[in-house]
Amino acid sequence: MQETKVEQKLAKPVSRKTGPSYLVVFIVLAVLTGLEIVVSQLPIPRAPILIPMAFIKVALVALFYMHLRTDRRLFAMIFVIGVLVGITLILTFAVLFSTQTGGV
Amino acid sequence: MANLTNTNLTSPASVDAASVEVEHTSMGVDNRKLGMWVFLASEALFFSALIATYVILHGRSTGGPTPRDVLSLPLVSINTFVLIASSMALVTGLSAAQRQDIRKAILWLAVTAGLGIVFLGGQVYEFSHLVTDKLLISTNLFGATFFTLTGTHGLHVLSGIIWLILVIVQLVQKRDLPHADFKIEMVGLYWHFVDLIWIIIFTLVYLLI
């Protein structure tokens, strides 16, 4: 009886394609990239706009193309921890070296 | 039989274990996929180190050329669109494989590999122009960090193309390849990660000059 249940579970197809279609995600990514290019040419502080836009694009790719939105939470946790440690590393070094001057 | 093993799940007689949710490990997830995500997390740390190096050494070169002097936004923008399009082509191929439409899956994987080659071609073209503009990896801090960061990314793209070609060859040789969609999903995770890293590099290196 238990074996039958397991086999039924194995045979059950996983529907990955939920929410917006891949094409819609691509269009959003392309539009955001276009906007980033436009913003980069404007005489305004760009980092506060461009960095969040890049993070939105990264999130779209991870959630929809890498299926973290519908896949196991464990995979998302592992990846997000890696990314967060990476961001911490970048920020820490940026702050540590921000007071130093000179170059090679 | 509740305690299933990998052996009986991957045997030809079993159902397609890779394409369905399976709880056949102590973690309740597929070990191969878990391994891939751990690898990608380690890659995120690796690229973080390179990006951190680029960020902290940015603007500290004592001599030219500077990023403003040599970087070409139009060329790299096209390359960015190409890489984003390649990600969409790959997920479309995965979707086709999950519908057992292997012919379309092969086609979309080939499109993905083709777009990857276009991206690499663009990068080689860019590098050759930079060398012409007297920017080498040894010229200054900008050259060292720029070529290390973008060159490492380029090598990842090259690895992805080779992996894609291997999967395509396997699918062409054997249309009823077991776990075809799983193989595509694995190369897909790697490819999307490479795309994701480029999104950050594009912003930090080319847009925030």
Q: How many beta-carbon contacts under 8 Å exist across A and B?
A: 167
Nearest to B16 by CA among B208, B184, B193, B202: B184
Q: Which of A6, A65, A67 sits opposite B1 (nearest CB)?
A: A6
Residue B30 pLDDT grade (very low, low, confident, very high; cuts 50, 70, 90): confident
What's the Cα-to-Cα distance from A3 to each of A7, B24, B50, B114, rounded to whole Å? 6, 13, 50, 45
For residue B9, is pLDDT > 60?
no
pLDDT in tens, A47-82: 999 999 999 999 999 999 999 999 999 999 999 999
For chain B, the straight-line distance linking the first and the last C-alpha, in angstroms and rounded, comes to 60
Place of tokens 């190096």: B53
pLDDT at B13: 39
pLDDT in tens, B163-198: 999 999 999 998 777 888 999 999 999 999 999 999
Task: Please compute the mean of the pLDDT values over residues B29-46 and round it to a whole number.
Answer: 94
Output the pTM of the full model.
0.85
Contact criterion met (CB < 8 Å) for A10 and B49: no
Task: Please compute the mean of the pLDDT values over residues A81-93 and round it to a whole number.
Answer: 93
What value of ipTM does the predicted structure carry?
0.84
Is A31 near chain B, with CB under 8 Å? no
Interface residue of B21, B25, B91 to substitute, partner A, most A CBs within 10 Å: B91
Contact criterion met (CB < 8 Å) for A54 and B199: yes
For residue A7, is pLDDT > 70?
no
Contact criterion met (CB < 8 Å) for B15 and A10: yes
Q: Which residues of A touch B19 (CB under 8 A)?
A: 13-14
Q: Which of A66, A82, A104 sits opposite B44 (nearest CB)?
A: A82
Q: Which residues of B touch A74 (CB under 8 A)?
A: 27-29, 34, 37
pLDDT in tens, A10-56: 444 444 555 568 999 999 999 999 999 999 999 999 999 999 999 99
φ, ψ of residue A47 to 5 degrees: the values are -55, -45
pLDDT at A19: 56
Residue B209 pLDDT grade (very low, low, confident, very high; cuts 50, 70, 90): confident
The pLDDT mean for chain B works out to: 88
Interface residue of A57, A96, A101 to substitute, partner B, most B CBs within 10 Å: A57
pLDDT at B26: 76
**Whole-number CA gyration radius for chain A:** 21
For residue B125, is pLDDT > 60?
yes
Contact criterion met (CB < 8 Å) for A62 and B196: yes
pLDDT at A69: 93
Angle at B202 between CA B154 and CA B151, to 5 degrees: 20
- In chain A the beta strands, taken as DSSP E runs, fall at none
A84-88, A96-100, B42-46, B138-142: the lowest-pLDDT one: A96-100
Contact criterion met (CB < 8 Å) for A103 and B95: no
The pLDDT mean for chain A works out to: 83
pLDDT at B15: 43
Residues near A58 by beta carbon (within 8 Å), at least 6 away in sequence: B196, B199, B200
Q: How many whole angstroms separate alpha carbon B2 and alpha carbon A86? A: 39
Q: Which of A54, A64, A65 sits opposite B200 (nearest CB)?
A: A54
Is A43 near chain B, with CB under 8 Å? no
pLDDT in tens, B47-90: 999 999 999 998 888 888 988 889 989 999 999 999 999 999 99
Q: Is B165 exposed, middle or buried (0-12, 13-18, 19+ CB in 10 A)?
A: middle
pLDDT at A8: 47
